[in-house]
Chain A
């Protein structure tokens, strides 16, 4: 009786997970496994033609490919520039917003607008601002504020071509991080601040000694998510510079995309994407391991 009952329960459980599991296995797990396999092959897109196993060939090629190094550097620089800047601005906004009552929801909505707007739209928007010679920004700098004499060809040169990409990255991540910080700040009991104030701690000391240590898990969480997002940067680069001029602004994923869909070099493309996946997985583990205190690990 009890055996058949538990068997029936197991069968029911499988019925519940079956649709999701099938989709997951066919459309997610199989492609990941397949990508891993492809990364060891000279993959032929012509049907019927054999794919040649080349072992670590694609990975060795990536290691020696100057554009892979450049796009890796660009990706890391993007992350290093956008993540701390975005986090500091988001924390500052959250600290300010946490002190007001009137208009809190209104301002939170405004700050969150960039987050909910599609990457495609905001990428074009930033490309439009940075156009040359007749772009909004050039016009402001040359005609309105007279800061420069000649319009800058932002997108045609490096490093200026990175500026719209970085600016967009920062602008788009502030709202998300701010909402998370705001929620964390609201969990801090006001008594703690009052006690610190009685002890003569000024606003800066209260921030350093009370607020930041208490929201430490949130800081780590936001840092991890934003860094992963930073390493995954693609759409903005693809639509603002498309890796140009002369591949100077290429990031890992845009280079992988170009290798795969412009040069149809699928094996090489998957190898590049696995390099990124490895970096991201190692980073996530490292950050969680080193930045969290032992008792905070779930």
Chain B
């Protein structure tokens, strides 16, 4: 091992320096997470003797068991899953239909609708927050997971439509024409040609939408008062508010909430990178 390093060093000092730089950067990026994990494995991280070390003296999984069994935490996890997955299904369906119309049809109002979508992409989401809150109240959509889903889907439709239209326009038209000449309808084209050929783009918007919905905080914070309708970000914020000194609980809950995200990210990396570089995903 050492010999290998020495040879590498002699052969190419600059390469070693490059790896050194990258590793230093990586340490900075990862250290906060290590502290989060470490705190989550410490018992009574603050109230008893303060143990600031990175490696817990007596690691324990009590915090995880406690938060997982804490009133309603599993319900909040299910709420988040339900809201995120349902919203993804709807947003993919609705945006892809809309994008197909924009990519392949001419119709009155097309330009103005698309232009409006582009302008709206520039308006900060929180501008809508107050009227959206009032609208939800009027329509009886406050304290309802379906209410959240409706607002989440609508908020993501403009951006996803914009991206998918760009992708659909790159698809070859010949296959579609063949289906239409054989007497197939446009719905057949959409279902049998457009959607299957666009799997990478659909996967990308599904992943990014899922992450956005899973982490959404502001709308959920303003819409949901009913404790049984909370989603995970709200549950974690409430936990922090109630037990301000029990950081072990807060971070155990956070780690449980982050696990689905990490799974999605690591297993679907190729769609991620494609998605980040193709558009404005953040």
A interface residues with partner B (beta carbon < 8 Å): 9-10, 12-14, 16-17, 19-21, 23-24, 26-32, 34-35, 38, 89, 92-93, 96-97, 99-100, 103, 105, 107-122, 124-126, 128-129, 134, 136, 139-140, 143, 171, 174-176, 179-180, 183, 221, 225, 228-229, 231-232, 234-235, 239, 253, 256-257, 260-261, 266, 269-270, 273-274, 276-277, 280-281, 284
Q: A100-B22, A180-B276, A225-B280 are in contact. Are A129 and B266 (CB under 8 A)?
A: no
| Bound-state Cα–Cα, A212 to B21, Å | 21
Q: Which of B29, B157, B269 contacts A174 (CB 8 A)?
A: B29
Q: Which of B18, B101, B215, B277 contacts A96 (CB 8 A)?
A: B18
User: Can you report 21 residue pairs joining A to B where beta carbons are below 8 Å apart?
Assistant: A16-B101, A17-B101, A21-B98, A27-B151, A32-B127, A96-B18, A109-B265, A111-B25, A114-B32, A115-B282, A124-B236, A124-B240, A128-B247, A136-B52, A139-B52, A234-B218, A253-B126, A270-B127, A276-B124, A277-B127, A281-B122
B interface residues with partner A (beta carbon < 8 Å): 15, 18-19, 21-22, 25-26, 28-30, 32-33, 35-36, 39, 46, 50, 52, 93-95, 97-98, 100-102, 105-108, 110, 113, 116-117, 120, 122-132, 134-135, 150-151, 153-155, 157-158, 161, 185-186, 190, 211, 214-215, 217-218, 222, 233, 236-237, 240, 247, 250-251, 254, 257-258, 261-262, 265-266, 269, 272-273, 276-277, 280, 282
Q: A175-B29, A277-B124 are in contact. Are A120 and B116 (CB under 8 A)?
A: no
| Bound-state Cα–Cα, A96 to B130, Å | 45
| Bound-state Cα–Cα, A14 to B100, Å | 11
Q: Nearest B residue to A229 by beta-carbon distance? A: B282
| Bound-state Cα–Cα, A17 to B214, Å | 26
Q: Which of A116, A179, A234 contacts B273 (CB 8 A)?
A: A179
| Bound-state Cα–Cα, A260 to B133, Å | 11
Known: A32-B128, A124-B254, A125-B251. 11 other contacts (CB 8 A): A21-B113, A24-B120, A27-B154, A32-B123, A115-B282, A120-B215, A126-B32, A176-B282, A179-B276, A229-B282, A270-B127
